[in-house]
């Protein structure tokens, strides 16, 4: 065992793993308890991208809510490597699994994504699946229509890419100073 600082000892990998997994499980239970205490519904944010170095795809699922003290809260409930194709069906299944792990699938009521067609499909499929989960829950939640929202940041990014794209033989409309 190597001591870098008097107050910090590097333990073996098994001990480090045990501490990390234990901490994760404890935090997950705290989050489940907090989500269960929320009387309202949760909008989701789904973001999918490819890591440029290895061309690996990842999906991040974030829940948003306002707590009892009127404080905006959000939490990433999953950060998932997606080795398969980016089909709407597969991403819907992964999202539902994550929501069910946190016992909150019945509370979801909408999703914000980029404008990709696969994400629009995910929203449509999630809406159908959420209706089933909602009916299976005995707790009366407010009736809120499902929504899909295209993220404004993604839209601005796409507009900026188009505006700065060079055409053959032309300089960019926005030149560096």
Sequence spans of domains, the chain: 40-155
Provide mean pLDDT across the span 136-152: 74
Mark 31-46 as b/e (b = at least 16 C-beta within 10 Å): eeeebeebeebbbbbb
Give residue-wise pLDDT tens across range 41-99. Answer: 889 999 988 877 778 889 999 999 988 888 999 999 999 998 867 788 888 999 999 99
6, pLDDT greater than 70:
no
Say if CB 128 and CB 95 are below 8 A apart.
no
The 8-class DSSP code of residue 117 comes to: H
Predicted confidence at residue 94, as pLDDT, reads 92
| 116 three-state secondary structure | coil
Residue range 40-155 forms a domain whose CATH class is alpha beta
Smallest CA-to-CA distance from 120 within 82, 88, 85 is with 88
∠ CA 127-130-134, rounded to 5°: 140
Provide mean pLDDT across the span 136-157: 75
Which contacts (CB < 8 Å, 24+ apart) does range 123-126 have? 123/148, 124/88, 124/148, 125/88, 125/89, 125/92, 126/44, 126/92, 126/95, 126/96
């Amino acid at each position: 065992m190597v001591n870098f600082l008097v107050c910090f000892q590097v333990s073996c990998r098994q001990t480090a793993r045990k501490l990390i997994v234990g901490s994760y499980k404890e935090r997950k239970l705290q989050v489940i308890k907090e989500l269960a205490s929320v009387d309202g519904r949760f909008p989701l944010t789904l973001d999918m991208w490819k890591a440029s170095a290895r061309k690996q795809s990842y999906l991040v699922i974030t829940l948003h809510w306002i707590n009892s003290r009127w404080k905006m809260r959000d939490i990433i409930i999953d950060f998932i490597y997606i080795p398969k194709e980016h089909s709407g069906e597969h991403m819907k299944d992964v999202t539902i699994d994550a929501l069910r792990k946190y016992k909150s699938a019945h509370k979801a009521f909408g999703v914000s994504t980029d404008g990709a067609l696969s994400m629009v499909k995910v929203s449509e499929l999630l809406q159908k699946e959420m209706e089933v989960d909602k009916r299976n829950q005995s707790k009366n939640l407010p009736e809120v229509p499902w929504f899909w929202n295209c993220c404004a940041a993604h839209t601005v990014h796409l507009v900026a890419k188009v505006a700065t794209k060079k055409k053959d033989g032309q300089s960019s409309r926005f030149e560096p100073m």
